[in-house]
Amino acid sequence: MLSALRAAVTRSLTTHQRDVFVALALNEVPIDVLAERLGTTRGALYKTLHDARRKLRRELAAAGLLEPERPRALQEDR
């Protein structure tokens, strides 16, 4: 699974998405620190991270490693 995730990060994400994903999700850089470093806002980073995770989820589902994401309208209430 780890090798598939590495491949998906390399293959699917833009350079910016990859940098944000690695910094926030893997290296645990505080979002405020990263926003200041990149000259952007927290909201922009959250959006970038959301988009990156969605791409990775799709890629891993296509490889049969995760269940495909269902449209929100089809998800049961939790």
- Reported as a single tens digit per residue, the pLDDT across 6-36 is 999 999 999 999 999 999 999 999 999 999 9
Q: Is the pTM of this model over 0.85?
A: no
Q: Domain limits of the chain?
A: 2-67
Inform me whether the pLDDT recorded for 78 exceeds 60: no
Q: In the CATH scheme, what is the code of domain 2-67?
A: 1.10.10.10
Label residue 68 left, alpha or beta by phi (over 0 means left) and psi (-120 to 50 means alpha): beta
